[in-house]
Structures are given as structure tokens and as C-alpha cells.
Amino acid sequence: MPHLRIGQFSRSPVLVAARRLGWDTAEGLTLDISPVPSSPAQFASLRDGEIDVALTSPDNVLLYATTDKNPVGSRIPVVIHRGVDGGLGLGLVARPEISEPEGLVEVPVAVDVLQSGFAMLLKAMISRLGVDPARLTFVEEGATPKRADRLIEGAVGATILNAESRVRAEAQGMRVWSTSSDISKNYPGTVLASLDDGPDLSPLLRMWDRTTAWLLDAPAREVQEVIGQDYAELGSREYIDIMRTEPTGLRRHARVTAEELEVLVTLREEAGAYTPTRQDLRTLALE
């Protein structure tokens, strides 16, 4: 069987469901799925052949695939095969004692790394709430599940979360102040990417499309039972709602377009950060 190693930040409901339903083996696949601690670690692993597939932010692809001015110091030939979702509820989440946006000035605000796409999106959200991000104290806390832990335990006052981490935080009383949809209805969330000379992903993509359709169309109770067997947050009604809400939920047979990547370029330009060329965008989106 083809063996694929996948590195992810948050748990993918597509991978959880596909394994439970046996659709990975139906495609002749064996999958080794592991968490990654940070985007630099993920892309170094992709470059060095330690993983075959990255489930990641498309902004990470922009940074690591189009310039060597990134945390790993090399340009990595990565292409995007699928737009997985529109962010899965990606939003600014704060401690319940923060009663107004101005309160963010008084607490540490967690990001994965300071120059990441998530950090730029978070700053854009804060700015649109009427607070100058330059007044805030940002701290690097790594991947999304860890940031959720730090928020719930009170080590930070706010952060950016999505998927099961957002569900878990809200269950503990945390409050959502803004989401990616407030910035753009076309914000691209998670993507499935690999090296452009990597292994054939056709079986994985067939499995992916079949499972995504099932997650969106099957009775909600059935979906909850399947993906909630091992992970309670994924089986919650709140998670199912996030997964099925347009435009931020799961996407069917979706190619990421250069137009969607333009949203990320605009955020980078607003932040005064490196921006790729428009030709880079068309190449990454396989257009």
C-alpha cells in the first residue's frame, strides 16, 4: 500500500472520518498522521522528506514556497492540491473577563510566531475592532492546541483559534470577538500541500473528496458518532455546525484560487511584510 506521512496542527475531521469509515484502506493507503509544533518545523519536515503532506495555512505556503527569507532559510517547492476549509471558525478568542476590545491592551496576546499569517490576520481583526495592534503585547506560543491551553489556563488573555480548539475554549467560557469572515468572505483556511515533485496524491485526494462530501451531507447524528468516538470535541454539535457553515466550513473538491491567495497578500501588504508576486500565486494554486 502507498504510505503517506501527514503533518497537521489541528485534527482533521476528514482524516478522522476516513479512517473510521475505512476509506483510506479502500484507496489502498496507509496514513501516518502526526501533529507538528510550528510552521517552521512543518516545512522543514516537508523539505527534508520526513512528511509527505502538510495540512497548513496557505500563508505558510506563500512564505516558504516563494522566498528563502523565512524561518528555515530556504525556498521549498510546494504546491497546493486542495482548499480544505475556509478557516473552521478561525477567530479572535479572549478570556471572559475582557469586556471590551480595549481590554486586549492589558493582557498578553498569543500567536504561533510573530511573522505568521495567523498573526497578521489577528492584527487585522484587532485593528477592525478599533484597537491599534501596536499597543498590544504579542507572545509566541506555538501551534493552535497549545495556544488554546494557554488561554484557558489564563497565561494569555487572547489568541486566534479555530476548529476543536475554539470549541474547547468556548466550552470553558472564552469569548469570540471577531472571525476571519469579518476580514474577507474569501479567506482561505487550511490547505493540503506537498512538494511539487512529491508522491502521487491521487488516492489521497479521492479519499479526501469522498469523505468531505460525507461529512457535509450525512445526517449530523451519524457524523457526530463517527468522528466523536475518539475525540469528544469533534463529535460536538458546535463542531459539526462550524464544519458545515459556509463560507468558513469544509469545502468540496476545492482548488485554492489566486484570487483567494490575494486576500493573504493584502494582509501581508497591510502588515508591511514580504509579499509574493502574482505569478507566484498562480503557480502555487496550480492554475
**pLDDT, mean of residues 126-153:** 96
The C-alpha R_g of the chain, in whole angstroms, comes to: 18
DSSP letter for each residue of 125-178: HHHHTT--GGGSEEEE--SHHHHHHHHHTTS-SEEEE-HHHHHHHHHTT-EEEE
Choose between 142 and 203: higher pLDDT.
203
Whether residue 265 has pLDDT greater than 60: yes
3-87+187-230+250-284 and 91-182 have identical folds: yes
- Say if residues 50 and 6 touch (Cβ distance below 8 Å): no
- Say if residues 181 and 187 touch (Cβ distance below 8 Å): yes
Segment 18-44, tens digit of pLDDT: 999 999 999 999 999 999 988 999 999
The residue type at 163: A
pLDDT at 254: 82
Please give the CATH topology (third level) of the domain spanning 3-87+187-230+250-284.
Answer: D-Maltodextrin-Binding Protein; domain 2 (3.40.190)
Pairwise CA distance, residues 235 & 222, whole Å:
10
Q: Which residue has the cell 472564552?
A: 174
pLDDT at 255: 85
Going from N- to C-terminal start, the domains of the chain cover 3-87+187-230+250-284, 91-182
- Say if residues 212 and 252 touch (Cβ distance below 8 Å): yes
Segment 140-162, tens digit of pLDDT: 998 899 999 999 999 999 999 99
Is CATH 2.130.10.10 the right assignment for the domain spanning 91-182? no
